[in-house]
Amino acid sequence: MAIFVNENTKVLVQGLTGGQGRFHGLRNRDYGTQVVAGVTPGKAGQDVEGIPVFDTVESAVAATGATASFIAVPPKAAPAAILEAARAGIGFVVCITEGVPAQDEARVFATLQRDFPKTRLLGPNCPGIISPGKCNIGITAGEIAALPTAKGPNVGIVSRSGTLTYQALYELKQRNIGVSTCVGIGGDPVPGTSFVDCLAEFQSDPETHAIIMIGEIGGTAEEEAAEFIMTHVTKPMSAYIAGVTAPAGKKMGHAGAIVSGGKGTAQGKMDALTSAGVKVGLNPTEACELMAQIIASM
């Protein structure tokens, strides 16, 4: 088991013929992911190292039975690409594109909610998702992720930051702790998939026994997660929140990482998670150390 994706997930890459799409799409295939198609308008009939390219998501789905999409197109094209995938019946869409305007994200999210409730969007501006040994969609270097063990205990990871996700994967691997699934939800103001969505999935995934959550300043997603944890999550958790020392009113690299009007501070988020029973570390290493202690006691 894993969440959102598994060894049967068939992936098409929107933008496979572009630089990013080709690089990461082929890496994902090398990892063992079933990358079955590419989509680039006007390039139907071509192939990228044996992966057939189609003009539309619809024709790619009809020919290959793709169930998930990996979107690696520029910000201008990303909103239309997401909706095209949803219209073609794709159930899981991963959009790594950074720089999508917030107004577009809000409209896309509301459109998915209203017209395509069966489509889950991960991102934009996210590193993607990896279920080690089964499926890797996005930009994560697969080799830094430890495989889950049959008996467990295995850890699920959910994070707003790319590099901190890798850091967590790496630290768990060094401690020989297996990972069920690692989800990067992205650093934008309107992420398609939230902490709460991932926590709910991890809670019901029999292969996941404990959860690490990595948040950052800005918004209230971590506070909402804390509320959800109190009532719905029984699996032990550790967490880290980046940006304790970030100045107010500045976007810290990610479009969504901003403390405004005294809201969205790291301290507020850490306090909320602590009251929900989550072990909160002061740096990523400490959060993984706390997880190692949790795993050792299981």
Partner 1 sequence: MDLFEYQGKQYFARYGIAVSAGGVAMTVDEAVAQAELAKYPVVIKAQVQVGGRGKAGGIKLANNADEVRLHAKNILGMDIKSHIVKRVWVEHASDIAEEYYASFTLDRSAKRHLLMLSAQGGVEIEHVAVVDPTAIVKLHVNPVEGLSLDSAKRAVVDARISEKAQDGVAAMLLKLYECFTKGDCDLAEINPLILKPTGEVHALDAKVTLDDNAAFRHPEWDEYRATEELDDREKLAREKNLQYIGLDGSVGIIANGAGLAMSTLDVVNQVGGKAANFLDIGGGANAELMTAALEVINSDTKVKSIFINIFGGITRGDEVAKGIVEAMKRVKLRAPIVIRLDGTNATEGRAIIAAAGIAESQLISRSTMLEAARTAVEIAGKK
189 binds partner 1 (CB under 8 A): yes
Give the nearest distance from C-beta 252 to partner 1 in angstroms. 5
Is 80 or 106 the residue whose CB approaches partner 1 more closely?
Answer: 106
Yes or no: say if 95 and 121 are a contact pair by the CB < 8 Å rule.
Answer: yes
Q: 51-54 and 34-39 as β-strands: parallel, antiparallel, unpaired?
A: parallel
Residue position matching structure tokens 């830094």: 144
Segment near partner 1 (CB under 8 A), from 5-13, 41-49, 63-71, 280-288?
A: 280-288
Residue 224: Cβ-neighbour burial (10 angstroms; 0-12, 13-18, 19+): middle
Give the CA count within 13 Å in the CB-facing half-sphere of 263: 8
Is 147 or 252 the residue whose CB approaches partner 1 more closely?
Answer: 252
Q: Is the dihedral of CA 190, 227, 5, 62 positive or negative?
A: negative
254 is catalytic: yes
Q: Site for partner 1 (CB under 8 A): which residue of 224, 227, 265, 271?
A: 224
Site for partner 1, residues 93 to 152, rule: CB under 8 A: 99-104, 106-107, 109-111, 114, 139-141, 143-144
Give the nearest distance from C-beta 262 to partner 1 in angstroms. 8
Q: Is the dihedral of CA 145, 146, 150, 154 positive or negative?
A: negative
Yes or no: say if 4 and 205 are a contact pair by the CB < 8 Å rule.
Answer: no
List residues near partner 1 by CB under 8 A. Answer: 27, 75-76, 99-104, 106-107, 109-111, 114, 139-141, 143-144, 159-167, 170, 187, 189-190, 214, 216-221, 224, 240, 242-247, 250-257, 261, 266, 282-285
Catalytic residue annotation: 254
